[in-house]
Structure 1
Amino acid sequence: MELRHLRYFVAVAEELNFRRAAERLNVTRPALSKQIKDLETEIGVKLLDRDTVRVALTDAGKVFLADSRAILDDVEHAVARSREAQDGRRGQIRIGSVGQIAASFLPDALRAFRVNFPDVEVTFVEMTPPEQLEALAKDEIDLGFAYGRDTEKVPGMSSLLLVRSTFGVSMSKDHPFATRRALRLEELHDQSMLCVGDEKASTHRRDILSMFEEAGTAPASVRQILGFESLLTMIAADQGLSMLPEVLDLRSSHGIVTVPLLADRARADFTMWAVWKTAGASLLVRNFVRLLERNRPADSMAVA
C-alpha cells in the first residue's frame, strides 16, 4: 500500500463519484477504479459498494476513511515540520554553557532567538571551553565558546569574536589589595593563583603563567579549580587570587573585586569567541550566530 492509494480512496469516499474524484485527482477514471480495486484486494476488505448508478461506503470503508484522513494529515504535518527544520525554524540546538562571562550578550541573544524561532529548543550542556572544542568536533554540541587569540585558527571551525577585554587581578572584596587602583605582577609573587579548568588543557592557566613569565616573576602557587562558578566561590572566600577579564562585574553578585593590571595590554588581552563547525553548519546554528553578532558588545569584531 502506498500513500497514493489512501489519497485516491479519500477522494472517492468524499465525492462518492468516480468521475468527479478522477477529475479532482487529475487521473483517468479507469486508472482510479483500478487503484481502488488494488487497495481492497491488498487489505482484504471491501470499502465501497458501487454499481453503475451509485457509490457508497461500507461500514469498513467508513472506519478506513477516518483513519486514512488521520494518516494523510500526519504525513502533511511531518512534511511541514521537516521543512521548518530545514529552514532553521524547528529542531534543537545544543550550546556549551559558558557561565557568567556570557551575561553581557547571551540573554539578549536567547530572548531574540525565542521570539524569532519559538519552535526551536535550546539546550545548554555544562562543560569547560576546551571540552567544548572537543565536543564540537564529535558533534556532541552545535555551538560552543572558547578563549584566546588562537581560537580563530582552529582547523575546521568558524568563530565569532564576542568579548574583548583586559585581564585584571580578581580577589575577595576583603583582600588587602582590593582597595588598590592598580597592581603589578611583581606584587603578586607571594600569592596563590587560582585557574579554572583541567591542568593539562587550561587556557586560563597557560595565559596566567605566561603573563608572570614575561614579567620575570612567578606566583607562590597555582591551583586548578574545575568549573567557573567554583572558581568564583574560591576567590570570594579569599582562597587565592585569579586573573579575570575586567568586563566582568562581580562585586555585587559574588563580592569579588577586579583591580586593573599594570602590564602590556597585548599580553593581558582577553578574548572570547563563539565557535562552530564550518562544514555542514545548520541553519539553526547560523540563525543563532546571527543573533549573537547583533547582541555582542559594540567593540567586538567578527572573524569567519
Structure 2
Amino acid sequence: MPRVLTSRHLRVFAAVMKSRNLAEAALKLGVSEPAVSKILRLLEHETGVALFDRSGGRLRPTAAAKQWLPHAHRAAQQLDFALDMAYTLARGKQRRVTIAAHAPPLIAIVPEAVSRLRREMPDVEVDLRVETPHDTLELVAHQEIDVGVTNQPLPQSASNLELCERRTISEDLLVAALPPGHRLAGRALIRPDDLLGETLIALPDDSPTTILVEATLEESGVRVRAPVLARNSLAACALVREQVGIALINPLLLAGGIFSDIVVRPFRPRIVLWTEVYYSAVRPLSAEAAALVGHVQAVAAGLKGRSLGASARRARG
C-alpha cells in the first residue's frame, strides 16, 4: 500500500534545500538527523525522482531537486491551506479572511480597512501578512490568500496576473525622503542631478519602484551610489531617519505619520506608483473578503480626498 506524502515531508525537503547540511536542517526543524534522512528517502521512493546525490559522504541536491523546490514549497502551502480550511469547516467557523500587503498600503490603507471590517463583522477572523509585491500577487494567484494590496505587477508576473482580478485604488507620485537637516531639504523639488554625490538607499532589484527609478535615472544620464539595500520601504525610511542616506519611496508610507521627522520633497521627473487590490479570478470571493475589498477601496478613496484637501490648503497658503 503506497504511503501518503504530507506537507511535513515537503517542508523537510525545502528545509534541507535551504540548509548547508542535514544537521542544520534538523536543527531548524527540531527533529533528529536520522528522521530527516528517512523522510528524504521516502520522498525519493514515492516520487521516483533522485533528489540528492550521496556520493563522497555529502548530500548534494540534484538538478531535479532544484527544479522541484518551488513547486514542492507551493504544494506544502496549498496543502496546509486546504487542511486549515477543512478544520475550520469541521468547527463550523467559516468567517476568516487572509490579506497580504507590502509596506506603503500596509501602513496607510489596510489597518483602517480591517478595523472597518471588524466593526461590521466582529466574528470574522483576519490574518494579515506582510509580503513583497511579487509574492503578494503569487499568493493571490494560487489562492493562498483572499486579498492582496500592492504595487502594479512586473512583466514577469503576467502568468499570475491572468489568475487575478485587480482594481487600481491609488495613484501616487514618488517622493524623495531626506534625513532631518539634509542639504537638499531647502529645495522645492529633487531631481536626478541633485542625487549626485549622495548615498541612495536601494530597494530590492525586483521591486516595481526600483525598476521605475533605475529607468528614470538611466534616462537622465545620472549614476548614483546605492551601497545600502533595504528589503522594504519601511526599512528604507528607518535608515533615512538615522542619516544613512536618501530614499525614493511611495508617499503612502508616510500617511500614518510614523516618520514625521523625515523631510519629504517631490521628485521630478514624475514617477507614478499605482497601488492595486487583487483577488482570485478563479475562486469567488467570500462575503467577508468582498466586504474587505470594499473597505480597502473606500479607505484609499478617503485618503486621496484628504491628500487633495491638504494640497489645496498649501496652495492657498
Distance 1:131 1:275, change over 3 A: same
Q: Please, which runs of 5 or more residues in structure 2 have no aligned partner?
A: 1-87, 306-317
Structure having the larger proportion of residues in strand = 1
Q: Which residue of 2 aligns with 1:193?
A: 200
- Does 2:136 match 1:132? yes
- 1:165 aligns to what? 172
Kindly state the Cα deviation for residue 184 of structure 1 after the two structures are TM-superposed.
1.4
Superposition TM-score, scaled by structure 2 size: 0.59
* Matched letter for residue 93 of structure 1: V
What residue is the counterpart of 2:235 in the other structure? 230
Q: Where do 1:192-231 residues align within 5 Å?
A: 192-197=199-204, 199=205, 201-221=206-226, 223-231=228-236
2:84 corresponds to which residue? none
* Change in CA separation of 1:251 and 1:170 when aligned onto 2, cut-off 3 Å: farther
Q: Distance between the aligned counterparts of 2:225 and 2:213, measured in 1?
A: 13
Cα displacement string for residues 212-251 of structure 1 (whole angstroms, at most 9, x for unaligned residues): 1122222123542123332221111121211113454379
> CA shift at 1:279, angstroms?
0.9
Give the root-mean-square deviation of aligned CA atoms. 3.0
141-150 or 225-234: bigger deviation: 141-150
Instruction: After superposition, give the CA deviation of every residue in 1:143-181 in whole Å (9 maximum; x if it has no partner).
Output: 112213769972121112222110111111132112321
**Out of 180, 184, 187, which is 2:187 matched to?**
180
Paired-residue identity, %: 17
For residues 261-291 of structure 1, give each alpha carbon's deviation from its aligned partner in whole angstroms, at most 9, with x where no partner exists.
231x3xx111111111111132232221122
**How many residue pairs align between the two structures?**
212
What letter corresponds to residue 220 of structure 2 in structure 1? A
Alignment of 1:61-140 (within 5 A): 90-140=94-144
- Matched residue of 2:197: which SS? coil
Return 247-256 or 115-124, whichever deviates more: 247-256
- In structure 2, the CA distance between the partners of 1:253 and 1:146, relative to structure 1 (3 Å rule), is closer
How far apart are 1:142 and its partner, in Å?
A: 1.7
- Say whether residues 1:144 and 2:143 are aligned partners: no
Shift in CA distance, 236/287, structure 1 to aligned 2, threshold 3 Å: same
Structure 1 residue 259: deviation in Å?
0.8
- 8 Å CA contact retained: 1:164, 1:270: yes
Gaps of at least 5 residues in structure 1 are 1-77
From the superposition, tell whether residues 277 and 252 of structure 1 become closer, same or farther in structure 2 (CA, over 3 Å): closer
Answering whether residue 264 of structure 2 is matched by residue 258 of structure 1, we say yes
Alpha-carbon displacement from aligned partner over 1:111-164 (angstroms, at most 9, x marks no partner): 221122222100112221211112223333221122137699721211122221
Structure number with bigger Rg: 1
Normalising by structure 1, what TM-score?
A: 0.61
Match of 1:249 in 2: 254
Counterpart in 2 of 1:70? none
More helix by share: 2
Task: Give me the whole-angstrom Cα distance separating, in 2, the residues matched to 1:120 and 1:247.
Answer: 27
Q: Give the structure 2 partner of residue 71 of structure 1.
A: none
Q: Using a 3 Å threshold, how does the CA distance of structure 1 residues 97 and 262 change in structure 2: closer, same or farther? A: closer
Structure 1 residue 185 displacement after superposition: 0.9
Assess if the C-alpha contact under 8 Å between 2:108 and 2:255 holds in 1. Answer: no
Task: Tell me, yes or no, if the aligned pair for 1:104 and 1:297 is still in contact at 8 Å.
Answer: no
